[in-house]
Amino acid sequence: MKKLLLSIFIVTGILFLASCNKKDNQSSETFNPDDFEIIVTEDPSELSDFEVEPISGQEFVLTNMYPDKNITISLISTNGTYMLAGVSAVNNYFADFTIKGNTIAIGNIGSTRKAGPEEDMNIETEYLNLLNSVGIIFYDGQVLSLETTNGVELLFVPSTNK
């Protein structure tokens, strides 16, 4: 029974990821990285090594894009295993990740399969694609910053929701 449920879950995840790559699902409002401020650190060694434990389980809200969509992320550390989870416009999402210094590698992202307004579904797809390309992470005590391999920063602040 467990193998059957695991197989169903894996197939569902693969179908979801495949559907996210279809061209007809793309937003008419294309993502333009020039619309966002990009912060470049001249010397990455200036960044202190990122530690998940101090913020494990804390919810953060995306602030620099997709206003009013309440996109969230939480990083969770359990016995040396790292996972992230959150809400992306419509659905809940989750993934495992590894971290070394300030370099982060996010595994395959899974999500629930709720439907929503087309605009929100397009925003969700764009956000998850950005999240999938994150390579650098840092936290200054106020802002959690995830930077994609293309230099786009996703800036999160602690949620006021309890």
Given a cut of 60, whether residue 114 has pLDDT beyond it is yes
What is the structure's pLDDT at 12? 54
pLDDT average, residue stretch 112-129: 96
Q: At what angle do helices 118-132 and 2-20 cross, to 10 degrees?
A: 100
Task: Give the rounded distance of the alpha carbon of 49 from its chain centre.
Answer: 20
- Comparing 43 with 89, which gets the higher pLDDT? 89
Contacts of 101 (CB under 8 A, 6+ apart): 47, 49, 50
Given a cut of 60, whether residue 4 has pLDDT beyond it is no
pTM over 0.75: no
- For β-strands 144-148 and 153-158, DSSP reports them as antiparallel
What is the structure's pLDDT at 96? 96
pLDDT average, residue stretch 67-86: 94
- Reading phi first (left if > 0) and then psi (alpha if -120 to 50, else beta), residue 46 is in alpha
